[in-house]
Amino acid sequence: MRHAPLRAGVTVLALLAASACSADRAPGSEATVASGDPAACPGEVLDVVVSVAAWSDVVRRLGGDCATVTTIAASPAGVPDDVVPADRAAFAAADLVVLNGARYDRWAVRALEASDGDPVVMTAADVADDDAARPGPQLWYAPDVVPAVAEAVTRELAALSPDAAPYFDAQHTAWTAELQPYLAAVAALREGSAGHTCATTLTAWGPMARAVDLADATPSGFRRSLRSGSEPAPEDVEAFETALRAGDVDVLVHDGAAEGTTADRLRDIAEDAGVPVVEMTAFPPDDDGFVDWQVTQLAAVAEALAEEG
């Protein structure tokens, strides 16, 4: 596989609206496919495979009519240990593969290594700062990484379909404009987080919590169990419950996909203790784009902290 070199920056062109794509389920696969439009693309329509849906909306908007984007894992629950033959075929046929890296989607790396294709591979972890993944590998929750990944994806798309390079540059300009409310929401949360603490049952929140300087009051043992995907030890759960009841936590970031679990019980304890609870998800809902999804969540945390004073 070819790993993407870091090429020169993009040229800023006139702002264009990002094109809308309809996503369909690939036959025999859990993957979704958003098709490009050869009639509307000034160059070659590229086949792009994205490992996880958290990066999918970003890539679709950057590719627009000039990219057919296949997303293998549409939800955290759908992240596979291995891929089915239809998905292996997508990797083999891809011009560009976009991975998260940081050990999060090793199954995709294995599928690439086993495929007969030779795509360019762009990995968010390779674009990010060396220590960006330390709070958690979900780099789409790191606000400094998101724009850098968008730039890198645009460079690769333009290099692979040179006739469409001006189109991709314009798509990137449009995406950058669309991203401004997200960056503003990050800045506002950072400004309002001074002196406040949060605890979380959502692993993905780690990079954002660090980015906005929000002190993490999650017990260390519980945090390690989240990262490893293991069941937390009873003493770590007890420490979490104690912190919530003692008023050591200003807001609880709760995994909205955690039903009937320890995380669910901690949410109930937080509510009983008067600790604001903000539900988040690791991946965007099907009907939400990246920016709307993130802005809604960030605004909810900012509101909860404002209520705490």
* Per-residue pLDDT tens over the stretch 175-217: 999 999 999 999 999 999 989 999 999 989 999 999 999 999 9
Q: Is 93 exposed, middle or buried (0-12, 13-18, 19+ CB in 10 A)?
A: middle
**3-class DSSP state for residue 20?**
coil
> What are the phi and psi torsion angles at 23 (to 5°)?
-105, 135
Dmax (CA) of the chain? 62
- For the domain made up of 2-179, the CATH class stated in words is alpha beta
Q: Is the pLDDT at 245 greater than 50, yes or no? A: yes
- The secondary structure element, H or E, covering residue 254 is strand 251-255
Q: How far is CA 254 from the centre of its chain?
A: 17
**Range of lowest pLDDT (19-28, 86-95, 209-218):** 19-28
pLDDT at 20 over 50: no
The model carries a pTM of 0.87
Q: For residue 246, count CB atoms less than 10 angstroms from its CB and return exposed for 0-12, middle for 13-18, buried for 19 or more.
A: exposed
**Which tens digit of pLDDT belongs to each residue from 124-169?**
999 997 665 566 789 999 999 999 999 999 999 999 999 999 999 9
Q: For residue 64, is pLDDT > 80? A: yes
Give the chain's mean pLDDT: 87
Token couple for 278:
């903000």
Per-residue pLDDT, 281: 93
Query: For 46-60, what is each residue's pLDDT tens digit?
Result: 999 999 999 999 999
> In angstroms, rounded to a whole number, what is the distance separating the alpha carbons of residues 258 and 255?
5
For 151, 241, 249, 266, the CA distances from 216, given in Å and listed in that order, are 30, 15, 9, 16
- SS3 helix, strand, coil % of the chain, rounded to 5? 50, 15, 40
Per-residue pLDDT, 300: 96
Confidence of residue 95 (pLDDT cuts 50, 70, 90): very high
Strand order in the sheet with 96-99: 2-3, 120-123, 96-99, 46-52, 67-73, 32-34, 23-25
Which ranges in the chain are annotated with CATH 3.40.50.1980?
Answer: 2-179, 193-308
Share of the chain above pLDDT 70, in %: 85
**91 close to 115: Cβ distance less than 8 angstroms:** yes
The pLDDT score that the predictor gives to residue 309 is: 62
Q: Kindly report the backbone phi and psi dihedral angles of residue 294, in degrees, each rounded to the nearest multiple of 5, phi listed first.
A: -70, -40
Per-residue model confidence (pLDDT) at position 82: 67
Residue 190, judged by CB atoms within 10 A of its CB (0-12, 13-18, 19+), counts as: middle
- Say yes or no to pLDDT of 18 above 50: no
Q: What is the dihedral of CA 148, 151, 157, 163, to 10 degrees?
A: -170
C-beta separation of 211 from 142 below 8 A: yes
CA separation for the pair 308, 278 (Å, rounded): 13
* Spatial contact of 98 and 49, defined as CB atoms under 8 Å apart: yes
pLDDT higher than threshold 70 for residue 278:
yes
Q: Does residue 93 register a pLDDT over 70?
A: yes
Quick one: which of 202, 186, 122, 126 has its CA closest to 154? 122
Phi and psi torsions of 52, nearest 5°: -130, 150
Write down the CATH number for the domain with range 193-308: 3.40.50.1980
**pLDDT grade for 43, boundaries at 50, 70 and 90:** very high
pLDDT tops 60 at residue 10? no
